[in-house]
Amino acid sequence: MRRKCTRYEGLMERYLTGEILPDERDDLEKHLSLCPDCSRVYRDISGVECALRTFPGKMVDPPPYLKTRILASIEGERKSLWAFLTRTVTAFAAILAIFLIMAVYGYLTRPSSPPSPPVAGEKAETGTKEVKIFFYFPDARTVSITGDFTNWDPKGLPMKKTGKKGLWEIDLKVKPGVYSYNFIIDGRLLVPDPQAPEQTPDGFGGMNSILLVPKGDVS
């Protein structure tokens, strides 16, 4: 096809699909009878057009499990979003509750004299605290702990066996604050801590344990 023939490309396409105007058709047919290159291109493209229109396998069946897989991935994403929102709201609510309790407690036990200024060493209290957590589960082969402090890592932090049968322990190093957490039994079963002072719904019908790490000495 020569450079001057490129204007016939659009006409050929419309000719093949029957959209061409009568004047344009006459022009194209005349050109095809005079230009062997365009005539050959047109024959080739007609052949390709025919092959494409009669192609037998235009639609291919996906595997039967694909729909389930798609819907499961959507559900998984929705749950992870919901879990994130639940955790965030729970954490904010718990922090707010602690501030309110502290404010009320401070008001009720306020000293008659003005409060003394901060003493040296208070700054150190803003660092991490070590909290020992115990969990009794005699049938477990492995126990780990996961929560806000691990970004809910599915593996969690492994707990160690204590000397007593079925009793597991871990020393957590966390900053003062409020954390949701649970235990993972044998890498698959998520259970709340029955010893936790407080539990909140996890949004999926289960419960999350709440860990309060106050400023100051930790018992």
Partner 1 sequence: MSFDDDVRIVKRVRRGDRESFALLVEKYERPIFSFIYHFFNDYALAEDLTQEVFLRSYRFIRTYDTKQKFSTWLFTIARNLCIDEMRKREKERTLPIDEVRGGNIENPSSRNPEDIAEALSDSAFLKRLIAKLPERYRTALLLFYFHEMSYEEISSVMGISMANTKIILFRAKKMLSDLYRKGE
State how far the Cα of 208 lies from the Cα of 180, in Å rounded to an integer: 6
21 sits near partner 1 (criterion: CB under 8 A): no
51 sits near partner 1 (criterion: CB under 8 A): yes
53 sits near partner 1 (criterion: CB under 8 A): yes
Which among 202, 217, 180 is positioned nearest to 79, based on CA atoms? 202
Buried b (16+ CB within 10 A) or exposed e, 61-72: eeeeeeeeeeee
108 sits near partner 1 (criterion: CB under 8 A): no
Site size for partner 1 (CB under 8 A): 40
46 sits near partner 1 (criterion: CB under 8 A): yes
Q: How many CB atoms lie within 10 A of CB 199?
A: 16
State how far the Cα of 87 lies from the Cα of 69, in Å rounded to an integer: 27
Identified binder of partner 1 from the candidate list 21, 48, 95, 104, rule CB under 8 A: 48
Helix axes 22-34, 7-17, angle to 10 degrees: 120
What is the Cα gyration radius of the chain? 36
Q: Which one of the spans 48-56, 92-100, 186-194, 204-212 is the region binding partner 1 (CB under 8 A)?
A: 48-56
Residue 139's Cα: distance from chain center in Å? 32
18 sits near partner 1 (criterion: CB under 8 A): no
Identified binder of partner 1 from the candidate list 4, 54, 141, 217, rule CB under 8 A: 54
49 sits near partner 1 (criterion: CB under 8 A): yes
Shortest distance, position 123 Cβ to partner 1, whole Å:
45
Shortest distance, position 192 Cβ to partner 1, whole Å:
27
State how far the Cα of 2 lies from the Cα of 6, in Å rounded to an integer: 7
Q: How many CB atoms lie within 10 A of CB 59?
A: 5
Nearer residue to partner 1 within complex by CB, 36 or 111: 36
Nearer residue to partner 1 within complex by CB, 13 or 186: 13
3 sits near partner 1 (criterion: CB under 8 A): no
Nearer residue to partner 1 within complex by CB, 34 or 120: 34
Q: Which helix (H) or strand (E) holds 156?
A: none
Shortest distance, position 61 Cβ to partner 1, whole Å:
7
67 sits near partner 1 (criterion: CB under 8 A): yes
* Tokens (6 digits) for 92: 């904010």
* Tokens (6 digits) for 212: 């309060």
> Which residue ranges make up the site for partner 1 (CB under 8 A)?
1, 9-10, 12-14, 37, 40-41, 43-63, 66-67, 69-71, 73-75, 77-78
